[in-house]
């Protein structure tokens, strides 16, 4: 369960402080739980599960259903990781319950105006696939316009950001982040 709490927290883009506050525990206690220095009671584990938005048993198990290593996320089950009324890009979590993953998938809905958003960079690699709409990948050296079905694979240490070019609804982009480090997506909001 130790690494599972940390993994679930990171997948939801929560800071240690945020999860601790939502679960009603101290930051130092939560840190000890994540590092295996303290074992939470069932009540605290239930509070952590509620704060993470997962069933209690998800905190204890790595995979279920089809067997170890298989996680299915139905379209209606994707979880918003950024507020719906936020002006910037929106992220939806995919395969949040998957344990031990080496890549982290998201559905990204880039904002129309990326001007206020900072360029982001992080260790690892990124793969973008435009599912719907038109989008633009912005790099300090230039940009590339992407249509439905287009994809880009790049070294994520290159500063980057995206925006929707389509009028109307935001574009839908499948984003895969691969990182060898312990924090698969530290750059996301």
Residue 68, sorted as left (phi over 0), alpha (psi -120 to 50) or beta, turns out to be beta
Written as six digits, the tokens of 78 are 């994707």
Residue 62's pLDDT is: 46
148 Cβ contact partners less than 8 Å away, ≥ 6 residues apart: 130, 131, 132, 133, 134
Q: Regarding predicted confidence, which is higher, 2 or 103?
A: 103
Beta strand 103-109 with 172-178: parallel, antiparallel or unpaired?
Answer: antiparallel
State the pTM of this model.
Answer: 0.59
Q: CA dihedral in degrees (140, 12, 134, 151; nearest 10)? A: 70
Instruction: State the burial class of residue 155 (Cβ atoms within 10 Å of its Cβ: 0-12, 13-18, 19+).
Output: exposed
For the ranges 99-103, 119-123, 139-143, the one whose mean pLDDT is highest: 139-143
Q: Check pLDDT > 80 for residue 74.
A: no
Residue-wise pLDDT tens digits, 29-51 = 999 988 878 878 777 887 898 89
Query: Which three-class secondary structure string do you get for 20-50?
Result: HHHHCCCHHHHHHHHCCCCCCCHHHHHHHHH
What's the angle, vertex CA 60, arms to CA 56 and CA 64, rounded to 5? 95
Alpha carbons 53 and 60: distance in angstroms, whole number: 14
Written as six digits, the tokens of 2 are 């130790």
Q: Check pLDDT > 70 for residue 158.
A: yes
> 111, 88 in Cβ contact below 8 A?
yes
Alpha carbons 154 and 139: distance in angstroms, whole number: 11
Alpha carbons 156 and 63: distance in angstroms, whole number: 29
DSSP 60: H
């Amino acid at each position: 369960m130790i690494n599972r709490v940390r993994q679930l927290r990171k997948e939801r883009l929560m800071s240690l402080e945020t999860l601790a506050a939502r679960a009603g525990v101290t930051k130092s206690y939560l840190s000890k739980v994540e590092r295996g220095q303290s074992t939470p009671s069932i009540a605290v584990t239930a509070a952590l599960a509620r704060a993470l938005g997962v069933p209690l048993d998800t905190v204890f198990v790595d995979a279920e259903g089809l067997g170890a290593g298989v996680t299915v996320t139905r379209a209606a089950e994707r979880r918003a990781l950024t507020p719906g009324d936020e002006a910037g890009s929106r992220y939806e979590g995919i395969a949040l319950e998957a344990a031990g993953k080496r890549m982290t998938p998201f559905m990204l809905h880039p904002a129309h105006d990326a001007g206020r958003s900072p360029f982001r960079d992080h260790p690892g690699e990124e793969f973008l696939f435009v599912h719907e709409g038109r989008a633009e990948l912005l790099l300090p050296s230039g940009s590339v316009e992407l249509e439905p079905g287009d994809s880009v694979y790049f070294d994520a240490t290159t500063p980057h950001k995206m925006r929707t070019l389509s009028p109307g609804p935001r574009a839908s982009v499948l984003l895969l982040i691969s990182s060898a480090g312990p924090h698969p997506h530290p750059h996301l909001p």
